[in-house]
Structures are given as C-alpha cells and as structure tokens.
Structure 1
Amino acid sequence: MRVHHLLPLLVLLHAAALRGQSDADSSAVRWLGDARALEFMAAYPTLDRVIEGYRVQIHLGSKTDAVKVRQAFLQRHPDVPAYLSYLAPNFRIRVGDLRDRVEAERLRQELRPEFPGCYVVQDQIEPPALTKAGVPSAP
C-alpha cells in the first residue's frame, strides 16, 4: 500500500528535477574553445562544395564509349574539367564549370568542330578556386 503512495511522489519529484535543468533558450551554444576558431567560422559561414552553373554535354552513350571520349577530351583540353555521370541507361560526359550561360555557349562554340552534337546544360558545378584574397582565380 505504501509503495502505491510513493510512486506518484517519486514521479513528481523526478519531473520537477528535469524541469529545473531546462533553459529558456535551449538553442544557445556556449563556446569553450579558442576564440580564433570562432573568428575562422565567422569568416567562412558556409563552404558549399557545389553551386548552380552550366556545363557542355559532349557525349551520351555506353560506359566504354564515355570513358574513351572523356580521356580523349582531357588529352586535347587538359585545362577544362570533364565529368562522367550515369543517367540510366546511359553514361554522359559533361565538361566545364561555367558560372553563366554566355561562357558556356562560348565553350560550346569552341568544342563544336570536335563534338557536333554538344549542347549547354544547367548543372551543379564545382565553385572556382579562391586565391588568398578571396577572389576567384583566373581559369
């Protein structure tokens, strides 16, 4: 009989103890590390690895053909990145990391004699490399 009276009392005491530990602002974070780390994080709030941009698609076909086309392209254009991706049931080769459509059209015109069926596509691209001053380096 006494146990039945103690159980509700223990539950109430436990609930009161838990309530006493909660903060009004539970999303607050207190930093206990080096202040320089906070400065670094403030300077680089987001480090996204991809951004919206354009590429030129030069091939769509089998994996063996796509690998050959990519290797041949990289030999002739080592300064332009080439990406192999799978879109069932084909593999595609897309080249370049271009921020605007004008640059992509310029690259397409340059590649047209080698790849007559190439065309510009909107894609997620690798961001340009930054120099020490934070300005994108020239391609």
Structure 2
Amino acid sequence: MKKRKLGNNLEVSTMGLGCMGMSYAYGAIDRALELGVNFLDTADMYGPYANEKLVGKALKGRRDKFVVATKFGITFDPTDSSQGDDIVPIPGTKHQKYIEQNAGAVDVDLTEAELNDINAIFPPDVTSGLRYTKDFMKAVNG
C-alpha cells in the first residue's frame, strides 16, 4: 500500500477505511491493516457515538499502527431532508470481503484523457456562497 505524508509527521495509507456504519466490524479493520491501510475515518455522529467506541476497541493494543481522523459537532436529524436523495451508502464499504477488491483501486493510474472522460460524465461539483454562516463563525471564534 502506498503511503502519503499528512501534515508534518504523519504517514497515512493512500486509501483510508471509512468506519461509518460499522457496528461489529473488527475483522474489516484487521484486514485493512493486513493490506497496509493505516488511516481510519470516524465521527461522533456515526452510531451515534458507538462508532468511535468500536474503533477504540478494535485498536486496543495496536493504536500506534493507525492514524485516526474524526469529526465532531455534526448533528444528525433523520427528519432533515436537506441532505437530498443523492446521499447513498457506498457499495462495498461495510463488508470485509470487499476490502481487498476496493484496495486495488489505489494502484489504478488514469491518463489525463481518462480523467477528462470521467469529468465529462460526472462533472466536479461547483460550490458557491458561504461555507459557514456568520453566526457559526462568531460561535467558533468567540
């Protein structure tokens, strides 16, 4: 598994394992490490609150082998329709048997023409407007 430098002194695998939706997936984390994946992504809202505990238990005794990214302050409201219908789970992300297949994507090298073909079919999203409201920034900055 190829590695990349993140920040000043972290080295992470080019592919990370997103832990959202895992409830008893210790085997998936074990297999990811066997394949060289050392970068895990979690958040307090996954579960909610259960996923970070699962990741903590899975890493017990080997915490030094992983880099863990987490997020906080995100709220989840199942009645909130602002997420839209385009939010769907990524196939193959919850089952151990698919990890090796997905890890193979790291070795795919696309030409510029192939990237252009993909971008023609799935154009990059264009973001406009404020990412954070003034009230949010005031709360963050005090």
Question: What TM-score range do you get, normalising by the shorter chain?
Answer: under 0.3
- TM-score normalised to the size of structure 1? 0.23
Ranked by relative contact order (alpha carbons within 8 Å, sequence separation 6 or more), the top structure is 1
- TM-score normalised to the size of structure 2? 0.23
Larger relative strand fraction: 1
Rg: which structure is higher?
A: 1
